[in-house]
Amino acid sequence: MIFVRSFLIAGIIALAFGYSLSKFFGFWEATVLAFVIQFVIAFVYSSFKISKNTTLTREFENELEQLLSLSVTSIPCPCGNFVYTDNIFVGLENGYTCEKCNNQFRIDVSLTPTLLTTPVNEVSHTFEEISEEETKDVSITQQYTKGTEL
């Protein structure tokens, strides 16, 4: 359908060119010339577009491969005769079958946060707040006890 429509539009444009250039070339010569030129332009444009798409796809594939290579891990089988190497993902259930002992294994990923900053200011601030609250509580209870004594 799209092909028929673009063919029709190209034909109309070619006829218009043929009519406008009929003084120089003759009507049918100009029409055929305009028709052929349109096809050549369309061919060049589409091949340019295809090559651009291929380049983009290749770049995307390269980036994806780089990203995947970050999650490649080697895990030795408990039998000691086989090392499993593949992409391991945190959100997926990762498993493998050992080629030597034929047992199936599941790989559990455990994440350990390691403290890199010094949290002294944060903690001392919190301690100050806590000690202030404690002294307030003490003074309130002292007042209360004094009140009841009187």
Comparison of 77 and 88: residue with beta carbon closer to Zn ion: 77
* List of residues contacting Zn ion (CB under 5 A): 77, 79, 82, 98, 100-101
| Closest residue by beta carbon to Zn ion | 98
Comparison of 27 and 105: residue with beta carbon closer to Zn ion: 105
Comparison of 50 and 79: residue with beta carbon closer to Zn ion: 79
93 burial class (0-12, 13-18, 19+ CB within 10 angstroms)?
exposed
Give the chain's count of helices (H) and strands (E).
3, 4
Give least dist CB 94 to Zn ion, A. Answer: 16
Q: With beta carbons less than 8 A apart as the criterion, state whether 10 and 39 touch.
A: yes
DSSP assignment of 104-125 equals EEEEPP-------S--HHHHHH
Give least dist CB 87 to Zn ion, A. Answer: 20
Give least dist CB 98 to Zn ion, A. Answer: 3
